[in-house]
Structure 1
């Protein structure tokens, strides 16, 4: 199984598109999921070094996703981004195997700061020139 650096999980597709554009500009190889179930499916196929997840998502929240993810990938580094970074959230996050809780970024500079935490050794995460058979882009919304 190949090792992919980062999995971003958030039900806000506009936010994920912002993250995706920044990640691509930096040449970082990443995958994206819009729900916990989709993220777990990706973890069945790929071995991620880091996961950046939202807390509040329909179906499976970030705590439950993190617990399930750790069962699949025990060495996975998990960063939670949330607009609700209270002490209680931080305490529950630590119990769920989440290493760091950050305020949910709302601008490019803040997303770049999250990338520094999720991928501290940026040199390891450059996208290979070609990735045949792997499409890690977000699906375009249907109209």
Structure 2
């Protein structure tokens, strides 16, 4: 299975997604914001970054830009509860796989992750 990094400042969302992905057999790391996500990526490899857009310290947009530059093979999925943030993320279509709207079900998030992982490495 895949190694996935979940970056979200909301602990309940982070834990919800982490449990679902681990149940599906993935190895999952967690980060509370974009800066801690970058630190985690420097420590160990991941196949997929699943990040919230709105976070303190470094938001998901800035994180996606840095990750796509430094780890070009990394697949990136974004999450948001804000429609206007989803629109901002669509400017990154060439860099990210998709934007998932919150709230989502376990089946929805797992299906999007499976879809992103099915895309060949860059």
Q: TM-score, normalised by structure 1?
A: 0.70
Give the secondary-structure state (helix, strand or coil) at the position aligned to 2:68. helix
| Structure 1: 4+ residue segments shifted above 6 A | none
1:113 corresponds to 2:111:
yes
Match of 1:27 among 25, 38, 52: 25
* Higher-RCO chain (CA-CA 8 Å, sequence separation at least 6): 1
Q: Tell me if the contact between 2:75 and 2:117 (Cα under 8 Å) persists in the aligned partners.
A: no
Which of 34, 37, 44 aligns to 1:36? It is 34
State the SS of the aligned residue for 1:119: helix
Structure 1 CA distance for aligned equivalents of residues 24 and 92 of structure 2:
28
Q: Give the superposition deviation at 1:85.
A: 4.3
Return the alpha-carbon distance in structure 2 between the equivalents of residues 112 and 91 of structure 1.
Answer: 21
Is this contact kept in 2: 1:22–1:112, CA < 8 A? yes
Match of 2:91 in 1: 92
**Local SS of the residue matching 2:93:** helix
Alpha-carbon spacing, 1:114–1:68, altered in 2? closer, same or farther (3 Å)? same
1:119 and 1:108 map into 2 onto residues whose CA distance is: 16
Deviation at 1:22, TM superposition (A): 1.1
How many residues align? The count is: 117
Deviation at residue 74 of structure 1 after TM alignment: 1.3
Q: Say which one has the larger Rg.
A: 1
> What is the distance in 2 between the residues matched to 1:81 and 1:59?
17
- Structure (1/2) with the larger helix percentage: 2
Report the counterpart of residue 47 of structure 2 in structure 1.
49
Gaps of 5+ in 2: none
What is the TM-score when the length of structure 2 is the normalising length? 0.81
What's the C-alpha RMSD, in Å, of the aligned pairs?
2.2
Q: What SS does structure 1 have at the residue aligned with 2:100?
A: strand
